[in-house]
Structure 1
Amino acid sequence: MTTRPTGTSTSAGHAGHAEPVAGTVAGPGAAPAARRVLAQTLFETRAILRNGEQLLVTLVLPVLLLLGLARTTVIGLGTGGGTRIDVVAPGVLALAVMSTAFTSQAIATSFDRRNGVLRLLATTPLGRGGLLAGKVLGVLAVELVQVVVLGAVALALGWQPAVAGVGAAVLAVLLGTAAFTGLALLIAGTLRAEAVLALANLVLVLLAVAGGVVVPADQLPGPLAAIASALPSGALGESLRAALGDGVLAAGPLAVLAAWAVVLGGLAARLFRWS
């Protein structure tokens, strides 16, 4: 389970003058917009990777899950003639993306909102747009670390991903990140921090078990199969399995992810409260 990282967000400005950009409040001595966003991105990345509980959820547990599912048959998985690791690795990568883009981001943002950090940073040269950009880029940076670590472990276990599908996999990760970050900001900006803490962890567990992530949607019982296929979790898992297993672009699941990204992003932009 994820808990709130210790510490609060900060963003440093450096010497130099830049013209104001949309969503920022620039003044004398403010660093250029790109440098402000980069500073916030680095902080967001370090806040996750340096926090023990966050590191447990984003890296340690996915690695343990990958090892457990690849080497045991506790959960029955149809491999379609391939190897077990070919099914497990993309699913665990999808779950790792969800843990960072959704659970970690929702909890961190909700507590920053409760503590007044978001309202404070919105009045600095970083601005609202810069803060959100830093958060999204920080999520992508952590996901890159996850892909490298989990990919290395999976390769050591005998995984042979389809090189032809790397581009489709990157697209799936980007769309999945957009969808789950939108969901994270939606609940973080509308609910109390304590409620977000419980809800974000519960949703991650439910989606991991019955959301078509680790176990493909078509292998789930009864109506769960259809429901999971329509969820962003199932669409992300299926997109990555198709890309890295068969080397193909799964148009249907990617369209589902894109639709969720637009809807959740729009709702977050409309309903998010900064304080």
Structure 2
Amino acid sequence: MTPPTTAPATPAVRTPAPLARRVAAQARFEAMAMLRNGEQLLLLVVLPLMALAALTLTGLLDGVVPAGATRVDVAVPGVLALCVLSNAFSGQGIQTGFDRRYGVLRFLSTTPLGRGGLIAGKLLAILAVLVVQYVLVAAVGAALGWRPEPAAVLLSVPVLLLGAATFTGLGLLLAGTVRAEATLAVTNLVWVLLAAVGGTLFPATTLPAGPAGLVGLLPSGALGAGLRETFLTGGPSLLPLLVLAGWGAAAWAGAVRWFRWS
């Protein structure tokens, strides 16, 4: 009697995790990579908090503090704008630039995560880090006497989201079109210039009339103005939002058109 033959076992095929889980895992990895890196932590947290203390405890803002407000009321919106610039533009731009240089982007774009999932993970990581930044700035601001209206805090969220989307597009456009070393140099230089004279920490009204008008058309000036209006007057005017939206649309269109994955 011939013994029955047993068919060889078919190896189990592992199916990829759902897209939402893959994107969440990538976002968690990106966010932790930014927060655990010493240089990134300096850019994302330490320098903004130092700027907040300096603007509040010195007389740098005395000429632009409106009646009924205090230094910290003007300082906090500017520092939140600086957080967006540090996070979405400089931090993500530098990280993406070096990921591209070392082939990480090309590798991840061929995995089940895909290019769309990778970009979505980056956006979620930026938002997660922005939440941490907001909480820390608000806590330090509160210790320095900041008492915002709850409605203004809620209204600041969509302004910050629009700013984060705009500066993420600009950061990806730069990181995807030039070498990593150039990305590092340009983002650091632009960060300093926009923080100092780009309407981020200081309102454009501190500049002469001609340059002030130009600064108001920069994404940094629009974000800073929009956040200051939100906290000081109860809501942003339309012009800063339109300027941010225009820069964001142009940046993302350029990134889609010219971004190189390797």
Q: TM-score range by the shorter chain?
A: over 0.9
Q: In the alignment, what sits opposite 2:30?
A: 44
Matched, 1:239 2:226: yes
Q: In the alignment, what sits opposite 1:268?
A: 255
Partner SS for 1:60: helix
Deviates more, 1:126-135 or 1:247-256: 247-256
Aligned amino acid, residue 260 of structure 2: R
RMSD: 1.2
Q: Any gaps of 5 or more consecutive residues in structure 2?
A: 1-12
| Aligned match for 2:86, one of 88, 99, 102 | 99
Matched, 1:130 2:117: yes
Matched, 1:146 2:138: no
Q: 1:56 to 1:233 in 2, by over 3 A?
A: same
Check conservation: 2:61, 2:71, Cα contact below 8 A: no
Instruction: Give the drift of 1:218.
Output: 1.9
Matched, 1:53 2:43: no
Instruction: Give the drift of 1:250.
Output: 1.8
- Distance across 1 between alignment mates of 2:239 and 2:175: 29
Check conservation: 1:163, 1:244, Cα contact below 8 A: no
Instruction: Give the drift of 1:74.
Output: 4.2
Instruction: Give the drift of 1:168.
Output: 2.5
Check conservation: 2:62, 2:71, Cα contact below 8 A: no
Matched, 1:90 2:88: no
Instruction: Give the drift of 1:269.
Output: 0.9
Instruction: Name the count of aligned residue pairs.
Output: 249
Q: Which has the larger radius of gyration?
A: 2
Runs of 4+ in 1 over 4 A off after TM superposition: none
Q: Any gaps of 5 or more consecutive residues in structure 1?
A: 1-26
Q: In the alignment, what sits opposite 1:21?
A: none
Check conservation: 2:156, 2:230, Cα contact below 8 A: yes
Instruction: Give the drift of 1:48.
Output: 0.6
Using structure 2 for the length normalisation, give the TM-score: 0.92
Aligned amino acid, residue 44 of structure 1: E
- Distance across 2 between alignment mates of 1:33 and 1:195: 33
Q: 1:165 to 1:75 in 2, by over 3 A?
A: closer
CA offsets 1:126-168 (integer angstroms, 9 cap, x no match): 0000000000100010000000000010011011213222333
Instruction: Give the drift of 1:28.
Output: 4.4
Partner SS for 1:214: coil
CA offsets 1:198-224 (integer angstroms, 9 cap, x no match): 000000111011111111012222422
- Distance across 1 between alignment mates of 2:74 and 2:60: 14
| Aligned match for 2:65, one of 79, 82, 93 | 79
Partner SS for 1:223: helix
CA offsets 1:4-36 (integer angstroms, 9 cap, x no match): xxxxxxxxxxxxxxxxxxxxxxx9421000000
* Residue identity (%): 54
Instruction: Give the drift of 1:73.
Output: 1.6
Partner SS for 1:230: coil
Query: 1:156-195 maps to which residues of 2 (within 5 A)?
Result: 156-195=143-182
Deviates more, 1:255-264 or 1:135-144: 255-264
- Distance across 1 between alignment mates of 2:49 and 2:219: 22
CA offsets 1:70-126 (integer angstroms, 9 cap, x no match): 001245541111111111110011001110000011110000001000000000000
Aligned amino acid, residue 156 of structure 1: A
Q: In the alignment, what sits opposite 2:9?
A: none
| Aligned match for 1:256, one of 233, 243, 259 | 243
- Distance across 2 between alignment mates of 1:28 and 1:265: 35
Matched, 1:115 2:102: yes
